[in-house]
A = this chain, B = another copy of it.
Amino acid sequence: MTDPSVLVEELMRLAESGDVAAFRERAEQVHPSDLSDAFAALDEDLRVRLVRELPAGVVSEALAEMEPEERPSRVLEALSDEEAADIVDELATDDAADVIAELPPERADTILRLVDDREEIEDLLRYDEESAGGIMTTELVSVHEAATAEETIEEIRRRSEEIDDFYQVYCVSDDGKLVGVLSLRRVVGVPAYTPVRDVMEPAPVIVTPDQDQEQVARSMARYNVAAVPVVDHTGVLLGRITFDDVIDVVEAEQTEDLLKFGGAGGDETLGGGWVDAIRKRLPWLLVNLLTASMAALIIRLFQDTIEALLVLAVLGPVIAGMGGNAGTQALAVTVRRVALGLAPREHGLQIVRKELLVGLVNGLAVGLIVGAVAAMIGADRMLGFVVMLAMWGNIVVAGVAGASIPLVLEKLGLDPAVASSVFVTAFTDMFGYFLILGLATALIL
């Protein structure tokens, strides 16, 4: 397949050459994802000019593919209300709601008033962005449960220009309640006069609009379904969520988890500006300053010990740092186990026990090496023994902490990813200095 960046570059070249007709022709041939990348990269004025030259349907498809970081609403900002409304009309309602939500409220309102699907879009805007309602679309194919296979195929045919990705037909009762789903291959596999009621199947997954999007993604992955119906609390069919939205959710979740793990908060926009980054990260640095100060306080308690045995100022950071590393390893493994549902509550003790064993062995190995080196540097066997013990102890405790903290947070109903590596590191710093300085005070001085 062609490398997408080649297509994007070609579009950019055509756009910048000013040959609008050639750009338009190519834009209608490429996949909307490639056109959306070109839109994101072009400068404001040129983009506005080109958008005006393209059919609203082509622009809307590209808009639907833009990443939230690329701010698809930018594309509408410079257009007239009527031009913007034409494009919004062509969008699936979930994408329309996403774009409208980003516009200034007054502008959004003016445009919405010109849009055919206004009511549906307004309904979608009411749901939390991270809920099933926030990612569902209202475009779907549904038939009454008494319809025949032939009527169903007719309905599919009728809607197929408007809906470009569907995997199931939803069967509803008189009052609009979802009673079953029908795969396309099942519809064509039965005699034409068969009532769908006789061949429909119960939906393996049904969600309500208030469910968390991550939970929806997890269910769809678990049951391998390309689409799930969304119903209200009385069972009335409201919309559907497709696998491509779910892949986006999984990726967004992955970003959030890594940022949290890295102590950056989790809600920073990846492509955002530096002011946004400062606002999101500084509060966490200040929190971490407090935890880092705990280690400093402990060192201060043992200042006399350091004065008497200056080599401890050299060895302390190694013991603290290695504990941090071992703790981060255990934390990463446990956070992922919890996130993937591979850490059922009744196995909590087993998971901690595993990390205890790992810490005992790895800590002894690293401790023996560092202890031997310390004994040679300090020319003091007792120093070597103290260093070995402190390193061993810190790595054991680090492993246990790395495994327990996310498990306890999960039990308390909190997000285990909040247990960022930064906090585990602060803890192992503190404990590492306490061990080496405390043991040295007790055994050497």
- B342→A261 contact, CB < 8 A: no
- Which chain B residues lie closer than 8 Å to A54 at the CB level? none
Bound CA–CA A85/B244 (angstroms): 36
Given contacts A157-B189, A250-B250, A281-B362, contact A205 B325 (CB under 8 A): no
Number of interface residues of A (CB under 8 A): 112
Instruction: For residue A108, give the distance in angstroms from its CB to the closest CB of chain B.
Output: 26
Collect the chain B residues with CB atoms within 8 Å of residue A426's CB.
Answer: 321
Copies of this chain, complex-wide, total 2
Q: Are A317 and B226 in contact (CB under 8 A)?
A: no
A358 and B281 within 8 A (CB): yes
Chain B residues positioned under 8 Å from A224 (CB to CB):
33, 65, 165, 244
Given contacts A157-B189, A160-B189, A324-B425, contact A313 B318 (CB under 8 A): no
**Please, what's the 1-or-0 string for A293-333, where 1 marks a CB less than 8 Å from any CB in chain B?**
10110011001001100100111111011101110110111
Interface assignment of A1: CB less than 8 Å from any CB of chain B: yes
Specify which of B33, B223, B262, B299 is in contact with A333 (CB 8 Å cutoff). Answer: B262
Q: Closest residue to A207 on the B side, CB-wise?
A: B1
Please state if A329 and B299 are interface contacts (CB–CB under 8 Å).
Answer: no
Q: Which residues of B contact A358 (CB under 8 A)?
A: 274, 277-278, 281
Tell whether, in the assembled complex, residue B328 and residue A262 are in contact, meaning their CB atoms are under 8 Å apart.
yes
Chain B nearest CB from A296 CB (Å) reads: 5
Chain B residues within 8 Å of A220, by CB: 247
Interface membership of chain A positions 259-272, coded 1 if the CB is closer than 8 angstroms to chain B and 0 otherwise:
10111100010110
Q: A185-B160, A251-B250, A332-B258 are in contact. Are A320 and B322 (CB under 8 A)?
A: no
| Given known A67-B342, A223-B31, A270-B337, contact A264–B322 (CB-CB < 8 A) | no
Interface residue A98 (Cβ < 8 Å from any Cβ of B): no
A110, CB-defined interface residue at 8 Å: no
Q: With the chains together, A211 CA to B277 CA distance in Å?
A: 36
Give every chain B residue within 8 A of A369 (Cβ-Cβ): 286, 289
8 residue pairs of the A-B complex, CB under 8 angstroms, read A156-B185, A270-B342, A274-B361, A281-B329, A285-B329, A285-B366, A299-B317, A317-B317
Q: CB within 8 Å of B: which residues of A?
A: 1, 4-5, 31, 33, 65, 67, 69, 153, 156-157, 160, 165-167, 184-189, 204-207, 219-224, 226, 243-244, 246-248, 250-251, 254-255, 257-259, 261-264, 268, 270-271, 273-274, 277-278, 281-282, 284-286, 288-289, 292-293, 295-296, 299-300, 303, 306-307, 310, 313-318, 320-322, 324-326, 328-329, 331-333, 335-337, 340, 342, 344, 354-355, 357-358, 361-362, 365-366, 369-370, 395, 421-422, 425-426, 429, 433
